[in-house]
């Protein structure tokens, strides 16, 4: 790892949860945006950082064209996704040309792209975060014999804080479930059963191959069920060995809002996927 890559990682340590808009990461004062973006992609390819990307140019794919020929009333897509498909069928467009509300636009576009209905012709990294692999690298693996003085005292301070926080937390579990929770042998409650059924229904409807993102479940069950109630229900199902919760290592295919819908882990990152046992 060269000095610029290291400084990129150290810059992330100064932000809450080691997550920041890419535009705020400046490893050297005069680094151009193109070089910074290249560094980010290199580190992402080595799984040292995770990225949130936005599709900036798109067009329809052959499966999407076939989908539009079906009865639109029975299509397995949302109204916003249908708008995106129809707009992209006219040619190469920017997201603004889909006329989907800004807050919902990327979710609709990336949902279609992940299922192969549209082609993402261009993407832009908007946010970057230190991955679990990146944390392990900084804590346990990185070594250098360089005598360069390019690392600032601020970077050193952030690194020392990062070390202290993670060393003091080593004895704790990856995530904390409520202490008053029932034992794994307790029967599945009616509320648990409702959540489990919703997970299975969504997985079948969305074709997520038993790897359902938590934000999809929140969209289905909230606001009737609060965020806290749903989190407690998922922990309960996990303790009863009905499901597993998996963390997100690479955020490039999801929006910031979708990632934030995951369950926070004490040491950074999110529990993001649900797997039914």
Is 28 in the same domain as 146? yes
User: Helix, strand or coil for residue 276?
Assistant: strand
Total domains in the fold of the chain = 3
Is 141 in the same domain as 16? yes
DSSP letter for each residue of 178-229:
PTTPPPTTSPPPHHHHHHHHHHHHHHHHHT-TT-EEHHHHHHHHTTTS-HHH
Give the pLDDT confidence score for residue 196 in this predicted structure: 93
Q: Residue 39: inside a domain, yes or no?
A: yes
Domain stop point among 126, 153, 178: 126
Is 118 in the same domain as 148? no
Give the pLDDT confidence score for residue 115 in this predicted structure: 87
Q: Residue 177: inside a domain, yes or no?
A: no
Is 213 in the same domain as 113? no
Distances (CA, A) of 50 to 36, 89, 143, 161, 179: 15, 31, 22, 21, 31
Is 77 in the same domain as 147? no
- Distance, in Å, from the CA atom of 274 to the CA atom of 277, rounded to the nearest integer, reads 10
- For 257, residues 6+ apart whose C-beta sits below 8 A from its C-beta are 103, 107, 215
Q: Residue 116: inside a domain, yes or no?
A: yes
Give the pLDDT confidence score for residue 56 in this predicted structure: 92
The mean pLDDT values, 10 residues at a time, for the chain of 277 residues are: 88 90 89 90 91 91 90 80 93 94 89 90 91 88 70 81 72 46 60 91 87 90 85 88 80 80 71 88
pTM over 0.85, yes/no: no
Is 216 in the same domain as 263? yes
Tell which phi-psi region holds residue 116, choosing left (phi > 0), alpha (psi between -120 and 50) or beta: left
Is 195 in the same domain as 254? yes
Q: Residue 18: inside a domain, yes or no?
A: yes
Is 267 in the same domain as 196? yes
Is 97 in the same domain as 72? yes
Q: Residue 183: inside a domain, yes or no?
A: no
- For 228, residues 6+ apart whose C-beta sits below 8 A from its C-beta are none
Q: Residue 214: inside a domain, yes or no?
A: yes
Per the DSSP assignment, residues forming a β-bridge with 55 are 123
Give the pLDDT confidence score for residue 85 in this predicted structure: 93
Q: Residue 178: inside a domain, yes or no?
A: no
Q: Residue 44: inside a domain, yes or no?
A: yes
Is 117 in the same domain as 59? yes
Is 36 in the same domain as 140? yes
- Distance, in Å, from the CA atom of 15 to the CA atom of 23, rounded to the nearest integer, reads 13
Q: Between vectors from CA 78 to CA 243 and to CA 277, what angle results, nearest 5°?
A: 10
CATH number of the domain at 259, please: 1.10.10
Domain stop point among 72, 96, 126: 126
What phi, psi does 58 have (nearest 5°)? -150, 165
Q: Counting beta carbons within 10 angstroms of the beta carbon of residue 217, is it exposed (0 to 12), middle (13 to 18) or buried (19 or more)?
A: buried
Residue range of the domain that includes 107: 55-126
Give the pLDDT confidence score for residue 195 in this predicted structure: 93
Is 153 in the same domain as 194? no
Q: Using an 8 Å Cβ cutoff, are 79 and 114 in contact?
A: no
- For 89, residues 6+ apart whose C-beta sits below 8 A from its C-beta are 60, 64, 65, 68
Closest CA to 7 of 22, 21, 26, 20: 26
Sign of the torsion angle spanned by Cα atoms 247, 249, 252, 257: positive
């Amino acid at each position: 790892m060269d000095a610029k890559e290291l400084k990129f990682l150290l810059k992330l340590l100064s932000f809450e949860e080691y997550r920041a808009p890419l535009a705020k990461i400046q490893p050297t004062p005069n680094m151009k945006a193109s070089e910074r973006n290249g560094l980010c992609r290199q580190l992402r390819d080595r799984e040292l950082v995770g990225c949130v990307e936005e599709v900036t140019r798109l067009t329809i794919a052959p499966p999407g064209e076939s989908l539009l020929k079906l009865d639109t009333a029975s299509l397995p897509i949302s109204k916003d996704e249908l708008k995106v498909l129809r707009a992209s069928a006219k040619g190469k467009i920017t997201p603004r040309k889909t006329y989907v509300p800004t807050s919902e636009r990327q979710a609709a576009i990336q949902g279609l792209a992940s299922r192969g209905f549209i082609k993402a012709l261009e993407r832009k990294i908007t946010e970057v975060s230190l991955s679990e692999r990146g944390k392990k690298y900084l804590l346990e693996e990185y070594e250098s014999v360089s005598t360069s003085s390019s690392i600032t005292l601020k970077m050193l301070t952030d690194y020392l804080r990062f070390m202290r926080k993670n060393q003091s937390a080593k004895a704790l579990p990856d995530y904390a479930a409520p202490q008053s929770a029932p034992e794994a042998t307790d029967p599945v409650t009616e509320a648990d059963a409702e959540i489990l059924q919703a997970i299975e229904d969504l997985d079948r409807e969305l074709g997520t191959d038993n790897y359902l993102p938590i934000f999809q479940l929140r969209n289905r069950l909230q606001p009737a069920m609060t965020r806290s109630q749903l989190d407690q229900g998922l922990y309960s199902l996990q303790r009863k060995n009905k499901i597993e919760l998996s963390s997100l290592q690479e955020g490039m295919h999801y929006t910031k809002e979708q990632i934030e819908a995951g369950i926070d882990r004490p040491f950074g990152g999110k529990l993001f996927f649900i797997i039914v046992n």
